[in-house]
């Protein structure tokens, strides 16, 4: 903090005041340890979210504490809902003003640590510049004739006529989207293509005459109505139908050919039958002719062998008898 002091004559307005004398009061703590990049957003006029990063010279175990106050608040308040993600601190606290007031007082914020080595951070925020409406909910679509009616839930936290809405929609057959600005929580889109699919989403913005904020709400969940014929499905059909027809024709031809054979068997050629008959007889006669001499020869050999045995056995018996005698 910097102070300047000068003196003046109390009753003599003609005399000039003295020159300024300056003095400074340095904050406690090590330079570079104070919180940096403080950012606050007032969500739906109900709660505020403040984020900041630790100072470059602050230790990793530094525990920052946020305090806030404004005119009309008897005592300063401490934020107790802390979180830390990827080195960024966040604190959420409820903040609301009476609806009867037309202007919002400035909010003073102090961020410090219990250690005297950490420098404090002081900031003053204009709440009208931090307003962010809530995301529109319950978006409904209905189609009557050639019009699509869109309706969504309006915020109950904002005064009447302090918000306007942007409705973005696009035909899925086209790449470009169109935006409609409306002040009510409903609208209609005429002249639609009944054979196309339409997708809608909505967001809210504060009016400049009510708030100086540049924040707008997040887009609502996308809602679609109508049906779109998938081009990929068309492509698959174009390829699949001829292929199925071709396979069916091949199966049908094979089946008809087999059916024809069963119903109308082929008439045998008489010449082939005669040729086979006479050919087999000739082969049998030739084989018989070849086999007969061999069999006769074998039989003759066997007879000769038997006859020779008979002739040889008879003389031996006679000689043996003569010797015995």
Any idea what DSSP says for residue 269? P
CATH number at residue 83: 2.60.40.10
Last residue of a domain, one of 87, 110, 131: 131
Q: Say if 157 falls within a structural domain.
A: yes
User: Does residue 120 sit in the same domain as residue 156?
Assistant: no
- Distance from the Cα of residue 261 to its chain's centroid: 58
Q: What is the torsion angle, in degrees rounded to the nearest 10, for the CA atoms of residue 209, residue 212, residue 218 and residue 223?
A: 10
Statement: the pTM of the whole predicted model exceeds 0.75: no
Q: Where are the beta strands (DSSP E) in the chain?
A: 2-5, 21-24, 36-43, 47-53, 65-69, 77-78, 81-85, 88-94, 107-112, 121-125, 131-132, 137-144, 147-153, 163-171, 178-182, 186-190, 198-206, 223-225
Please provide residue 154's backbone torsions phi and psi, each rounded to the nearest 5 degrees: -90, 150
Q: Which range of residues forms the domain containing residue 279? A: 267-312
Q: Say if 242 falls within a structural domain.
A: no
User: Does residue 14 sit in the same domain as residue 112?
Assistant: yes
Q: Say if 296 falls within a structural domain.
A: yes
3-state secondary structure of 168: strand
User: Does residue 16 sit in the same domain as residue 108?
Assistant: yes
Of 59, 32, 3, 23, nearest to 119 by C-alpha is: 32
Q: Say if 193 falls within a structural domain.
A: yes
Q: Say if 243 falls within a structural domain.
A: no
Place of tokens 């967001």: 203
User: Does residue 218 sit in the same domain as residue 272?
Assistant: no
User: pLDDT digit of tens for each residue in the chain (325 aa)?
Assistant: 789 999 988 887 778 889 999 998 877 888 889 999 999 999 999 999 999 999 999 888 888 999 999 988 888 999 999 999 888 999 999 998 876 566 889 999 999 988 888 899 999 999 999 999 999 999 999 988 888 999 999 888 888 788 999 999 988 777 788 899 999 999 998 988 888 888 999 999 999 988 999 999 999 999 998 775 555 656 677 788 888 888 888 887 777 766 666 666 666 667 776 677 666 555 555 554 444 554 544 554 444 444 444 444 444 444 444 444 4
Copy the structure tokens of residue 259. Answer: 């059916």
Q: Say if 32 falls within a structural domain.
A: yes
User: Does residue 71 sit in the same domain as residue 126?
Assistant: yes
Please provide residue 160's backbone torsions phi and psi, each rounded to the nearest 5 degrees: -60, 145
Last residue of a domain, one of 97, 131, 165: 131
Last residue of a domain, one of 99, 131, 163: 131
User: Does residue 201 sit in the same domain as residue 173?
Assistant: yes
Q: Say if 236 falls within a structural domain.
A: no
User: Does residue 81 sit in the same domain as residue 144?
Assistant: no
Q: How many domains does the chain have?
A: 3
User: Does residue 117 sit in the same domain as residue 72?
Assistant: yes
Give the integer Cα–Cα distance in Å for 141 and 151: 7
DSSP assignment of 194-241 equals: TTS-EEEEEEEEE-TTT------PPPPPPEEES----HHHHHHHHHHH
Give the integer Cα–Cα distance in Å for 117 and 85: 24
């Amino acid at each position: 903090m910097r102070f300047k002091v000068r003196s003046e004559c109390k009753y003599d307005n003609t005399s000039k005041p003295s020159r300024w004398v300056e003095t400074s009061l340095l904050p406690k703590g090590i330079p570079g340890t104070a919180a940096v990049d403080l950012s606050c957003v007032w969500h739906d006029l109900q709660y505020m979210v403040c984020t900041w990063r630790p100072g470059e010279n602050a230790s990793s175990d530094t525990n920052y504490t946020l305090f806030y106050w404004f005119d009309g608040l008897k005592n300063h308040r401490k934020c107790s809902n802390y979180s830390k993600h990827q080195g960024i601190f966040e604190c959420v606290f409820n903040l609301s003003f009476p609806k009867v007031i037309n202007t919002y007082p400035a909010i003073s914020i102090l961020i410090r640590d219990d250690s005297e080595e950490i420098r404090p951070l002081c900031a003053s925020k204009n709440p009208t510049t931090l307003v962010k409406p809530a995301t529109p909910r319950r978006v409904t679509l209905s189609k009557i004739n050639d019009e699509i009616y869109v309706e969504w839930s309006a915020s109950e936290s904002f005064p009447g006529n302090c918000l306007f809405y942007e409705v973005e929609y696009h035909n899925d057959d086209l790449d470009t989207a169109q935006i409609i600005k409306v002040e009510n929580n409903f609208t209609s889109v005429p002249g639609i293509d009944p054979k196309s699919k339409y997708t809608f989403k909505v967001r809210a913005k504060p009016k400049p005459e009510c708030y100086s904020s540049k924040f707008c709400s997040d887009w609502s969940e996308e809602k679609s109505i109508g049906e779109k014929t998938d081009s990929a499905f068309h492509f698959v059909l174009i390829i699949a139908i001829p292929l199925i027809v071709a396979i069916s024709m091949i199966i049908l031809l094979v089946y008809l050919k087999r059916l024809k054979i069963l119903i109308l068997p082929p008439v045998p050629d008489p010449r082939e039958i005669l040729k086979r008959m006479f050919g087999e007889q000739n082969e049998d006669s030739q084989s018989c002719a070849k086999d007969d001499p061999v069999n006769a020869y074998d039989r003759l050999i066997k007879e000769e062998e038997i006859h020779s045995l008979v002739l040889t056995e008879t003389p031996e018996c006679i000689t043996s008898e003569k010797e015995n005698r």
